[in-house]
Chain A
Amino acid sequence: MNSENTFIIDGTPIPFEPDQTVLQAALKAGVFIPHLCFYPGLKPNGNCKLCTVVINGRHTSACTTLARSGIEVENNTPALHDKRRLLLQMLFVEGNHFCPGCEKSGNCQLQALAYDLEMMTPHFNHFFQNRKVDVSHPEAFLDMNRCVACGLCVQASSEIDKKNVFALSGRGIASHVVINTPSGKLGDSDFALSDKAASVCPVGAILPKRRGFAVPIGQRLYDDLPISSQTEFLTTREA
């Protein structure tokens, strides 16, 4: 192994290729760093901050930091997991995440991270915001209650589908996904279920209609193996 092209995560040498980020190199090497808004093939945007690591003493997002030889990364530490759990708890109370009634349950990345980081309670007072469900599209629905504003659908729609169906509007806590049509309805856009934007959602905000709970409990993505043991899947899923 060429030591010029390696860096250290928690004492383990990780090889990297030029232009790879810390997160990409780590996942490739089988080292899991929690993340929500990173998807292979899409430009890392550093939205969710769950991949926060400590590099040479400074907190930074692993998904937007280029790997450099010799850097030392802290990842799997109780202090960082505490911070990540806190971020998850804030995401859970900000939206309306009712897993028992969500078709994404078991395949949901937000839920899988909460399991993996042993988030037993959302802890904070819930916002219980009144958010809309858009069922205007014949093939898919948009449930804003579950949206975490990660921006993946926005990116997939513009970078891959070249349709620009989605956008993020508003700032800070008011930031939310909007549809790029005069009516603001998904049904009036040229969105299709075959779009990449339809399958990148890490939560249950964009889901196909008339499918429901198709996969039985026990056979879903995160039923047996925690997300931290599925780095191969996380790197090879296609964007």
Chain B
Amino acid sequence: MLSPQEPPKRKLRVATTSLSGCFGCHMSLLDMDERLLDLIELVEFDRSPVTDIKHCGPCDIGIIEGCVCNSENVHVLHEFRNSCRTLIALGACAVNGGLPALRNDLDVREILREAYFEQQGVVSSTIPNDVELPLLLDKARPINEIVRVDYFIPGCPPSGDAIFKFLTDFASGRTPRLDYPLIRFD
């Protein structure tokens, strides 16, 4: 007679992306080092720079690094919100705009003029306007100003410890909570 066996626990499906970010938060993800092996027992990756899958299927967790700077960021963010049951803002840019939002008191036209005409050594006669190129938004925005966001992990970048604590809390059904040394805005 077959002994009753527990069905294998389904792994959490995780998608990650970097919108207008520097990939520092993804680097921090790798900073979990050998604990990644523990984590990989709990999760599997969908769309992510790790897998190179281009579009997001139904996922349990979506992790967004970076703020929303251009039209492509908006589309990707909506794809994540529509596909992921839980959306997590990872890092300063996703949480409050971060470094890219420092441009927000400048006019976009002036920024582009400065970058493509007035920089020393730049020889160009036009601002790139190929239809393939996403248009810049007038302001860089944190992701919670575009879609509903469930959790926030601040930090520039959040430490590997903070991400590990958060994800293991989440995967084991606890309310994710960071201890004092793990909550950092810088």
Report which A residues bind B (CB closer than 8 A).
92, 96-102, 105-106, 111, 114-116, 118, 120-123, 125-126, 128-131, 217, 224, 226
- Where chain B touches its partner, the secondary structure class is mixed
Beyond A126-B141, A126-B142: 8 further Cβ-contacts under 8 Å? Answer: A100-B185, A101-B102, A111-B185, A121-B149, A121-B154, A122-B96, A128-B101, A128-B139
Partner of A98, one of B99, B177, B183: B99
Q: Name A102's closest neighbour in chain B (CB-CB).
A: B186
| Interchain CB contact under 8 A, B98 and A100 | yes
Q: Which residues of A contact B152 (CB under 8 A)?
A: 120-121
Distance A96 CA – B186 CA, assembled complex (angstroms): 14
Q: Is B97 an interface residue (CB 8 A)?
A: yes
| Interchain CB contact under 8 A, B186 and A120 | no
| Interchain CB contact under 8 A, A101 and B185 | no
Residues of B135-186 whose CB lies within 8 A of A: 139, 141-142, 144-145, 149, 151-154, 156, 177-178, 180-181, 183-186
Number of A-B contacts (CB under 8 A): 74
- A224-B89 contact, Cβ under 8 Å, with A105-B186, A125-B145: no
Distance in Å from the Cβ of B63 to the closest Cβ of chain A? 15
Q: Which residues of B contact A99 (CB under 8 A)?
A: 92, 156, 185-186
Partner of B153, one of A116, A120, A129, A226: A120
Distance A116 CA – B180 CA, assembled complex (angstroms): 7
| Interchain CB contact under 8 A, B186 and A106 | yes
| Interchain CB contact under 8 A, A114 and B95 | no
Distance A97 CA – B95 CA, assembled complex (angstroms): 12
Distance in Å from the Cβ of A32 to the closest Cβ of chain B? 14
Distance A118 CA – B95 CA, assembled complex (angstroms): 14
| Interchain CB contact under 8 A, B183 and A120 | yes
Partner of A105, one of B97, B99, B154, B185: B185
Distance in Å from the Cβ of A220 to the closest Cβ of chain B? 10
Q: Which residues of A contact B95 (CB under 8 A)?
A: 120-122
Q: Is B52 an interface residue (CB 8 A)?
A: no
Distance in Å from the Cβ of A196 to the closest Cβ of chain B? 27
| Interchain CB contact under 8 A, A101 and B97 | no
| Interchain CB contact under 8 A, B105 and A126 | no
The 10 closest A-B pairs by CB, nearest first: A99-B185, A100-B156, A130-B105, A121-B152, A128-B104, A120-B152, A105-B186, A99-B186, A100-B186, A115-B183
Distance in Å from the Cβ of A223 to the closest Cβ of chain B? 8
A to B CB contacts below 8 Å, 25 in the list: A96-B104, A97-B96, A98-B101, A99-B92, A99-B186, A100-B92, A100-B156, A115-B184, A118-B177, A118-B178, A118-B183, A120-B151, A120-B153, A120-B154, A121-B149, A122-B96, A126-B101, A128-B97, A128-B101, A128-B105, A129-B105, A130-B105, A131-B105, A217-B186, A224-B181
| Interchain CB contact under 8 A, B142 and A98 | no
Distance A118 CA – B175 CA, assembled complex (angstroms): 14
Q: Name B141's closest neighbour in chain A (CB-CB).
A: A126
Q: Name A121's closest neighbour in chain B (CB-CB).
A: B152
Distance in Å from the Cβ of B90 to the closest Cβ of chain A? 12
| Interchain CB contact under 8 A, B145 and A126 | yes
| Interchain CB contact under 8 A, A114 and B181 | no
Distance A217 CA – B156 CA, assembled complex (angstroms): 13
Q: Name B24's closest neighbour in chain A (CB-CB).
A: A100
